[in-house]
Structure 1
């Protein structure tokens, strides 16, 4: 190998080590800073000026101060990003604020930044999966009871603030145990999935729909009064009754519905759901595959009170 090529390769390797190694850069900066007094004295002597103790002491002192300043600046430049990383990580731990973690260097600090960013990304992905598992029904993809309770509280607060109605629909599949017993639990799962898919297009994007029990579902309808909720429940009932699955061999699925317009000033969500459940069980006792509204709202429904949306 020619000497010039070997020299070029060697210099390239040294340059790479210098750029990527924090230790090498710190050593180089410290080496230069500590040798500045010696370099300054040699330069002073080389000028041919009179060498006396006072002059030598002054040059050494000034060069030492200069070297110390350079050493501080070099160390600050190399180490300061660690402090920024620590600050971002503390904010992330305390406030949940995702750090930017922008990579600005290719040395050990840059690699540390990359590793922390990748670690936080993996952690956020895992936490998102855990949140989905905690707040969703794995079979139907709908929210679960916990998800519904938390989001319903937000909608109730908004309805109070805006002075708009809010209604709750509870519905339960009729004779679902018979489906599991006669056709198997796999078919029962198909039915639940089909019911969820049939219900979604009936509801508006901001309505809340959840599976809150084995075969029981609940919908929270913001800006909807009793009559509007009753009409939506009837559409849901019709869509569910129209479901046709080959695995059911002609057997039809029906559901019973209870509808309740919330008393926003006095009721919490669990009270609203309890009222809707009572109407649901009245529908069951009355023969199933029907919608039961609040008793107090029956006259308004017959009178055709306006639907708010």
Structure 2
């Protein structure tokens, strides 16, 4: 059996790239897989350096990797998870990924010529890991979506009550520990049952969505809006005293009262009532602030709706 011929045919036909370089990173071998994916012919590249052929390759990193194989006479490895690709080549997989380039595992193997104990060449094996990259990416995206769903209200897309209360507990404990300002706005839509009865529940849903969209546009990055239940919502305002909370609440209330919404060719106007509570060192739980902001909210309702009330002890 001609072992050399068998080896040559195997290397040409395996579904992995095989390159061989010398100590100057000049190419000595370039198999058919590499030709197919790089769109280069072996006859064009043999004798040239890796970096002439692949100018986008990480030159310093790749040189260090190859030199370490020569010096230590041991294999080295690079995973697609650490570096997505070393050689910029398009993948041929029938999948859609965020990258048009092949994800690669790279193995560097020392090669000793006959009769030598020290390597004078390095073999580089390129494995196409695009499928694994794609499915890992899909898994990561799915987990991110699930996390988002678990903390988001399905209708309004703001924080749901569970996540909102988790965040509020953290902000409350921070205010306790460091004596930071913290305010809470609780609000709900005035006569919301009448809107549902007169215009239908889809119209009621529309009003809830438009209200939260307007609030989100006004809030700062660190503020958090959450759906507390039904048509009631809460806004956590870190590092904000009651004066700032009142100004923000008035701005929201005023802009919403001027908003006209359209549903089934009918115009809908609505208002909201709001209550504010500022953190007090005598409070022991974040629920103490919710209770007091709710009391202020109900006072706004009793006094005619469409207004903002600050809780007074």
Note whether the superposition's TM-score is higher than 0.5. yes
- What TM-score range do you get, normalising by the shorter chain? 0.5 to 0.7
- Quote the Cα distance in structure 2 between the aligned partners of 1:81 and 1:269: 50
- Quote the Cα distance in structure 1 between the aligned partners of 2:12 and 2:148: 45
Which structure's CA Rg is the greater one?
Answer: 1
| 1:190 and 2:186 are equivalent in the alignment | no
3-state SS, counterpart of residue 237 of structure 2? strand
Question: Are residues 224 and 14 of structure 1, via their aligned partners in 2, closer, same or farther at CA, if it must alter by over 3 Å?
Answer: same
Counterpart position of 2:139: 123
Q: Of the candidates 185, 197, 204, which is equivalent to residue 169 of structure 1?
A: 185
- Quote the Cα distance in structure 2 between the aligned partners of 1:280 and 1:269: 17
Deviation at 1:120, TM superposition (A): 2.9
Instruction: Tell me the number of residue pairs that the alignment of Structure 1 and Structure 2 aligns.
Output: 219
Q: Of the candidates 288, 294, 298, which is equivalent to residue 305 of structure 2?
A: 288
| 1:268 and 2:285 are equivalent in the alignment | yes
| 1:132 and 2:148 are equivalent in the alignment | yes
Which gives a bigger RCO, structure 1 or 2 (Cα 8 Å, sep 6+)? 1
Question: Are residues 16 and 274 of structure 1, via their aligned partners in 2, closer, same or farther at CA, if it must alter by over 3 Å?
Answer: farther
Q: Of the candidates 5, 10, 15, which is equivalent to residue 14 of structure 1?
A: 10
- Contact 2:181/2:240 (<8 A) preserved: yes
Q: Which residues of 2 match residues 197-276 of structure 1 at below 5 A?
A: 197-247=213-263, 249-264=266-281, 266-276=283-293
**As a proportion of its length, which structure holds more strand?**
2
- Quote the Cα distance in structure 2 between the aligned partners of 1:284 and 1:134: 32
3-state SS, counterpart of residue 157 of structure 1? helix
Deviation at 1:254, TM superposition (A): 0.7
Question: Are residues 282 and 102 of structure 1, via their aligned partners in 2, closer, same or farther at CA, if it must alter by over 3 Å?
Answer: farther
Deviates more, 1:256-265 or 1:173-182: 256-265
- Quote the Cα distance in structure 1 between the aligned partners of 2:248 and 2:155: 24
Across the aligned residues of Structure 1 and Structure 2, the Cα RMSD in angstroms comes to 3.6
Structure 1's unaligned 5+ residue stretches are: 1-7, 22-73, 86-100, 297-309
**As a proportion of its length, which structure holds more helix?**
1
Under a length normalisation based on structure 1, what TM-score does the superposition of the two structures give?
A: 0.60
- Contact 1:156/1:264 (<8 A) preserved: no
Q: Of the candidates 102, 105, 123, which is equivalent to residue 103 of structure 1?
A: 105
3-state SS, counterpart of residue 295 of structure 1? coil
Structure 2's unaligned 5+ residue stretches are: 18-72, 83-102, 109-123
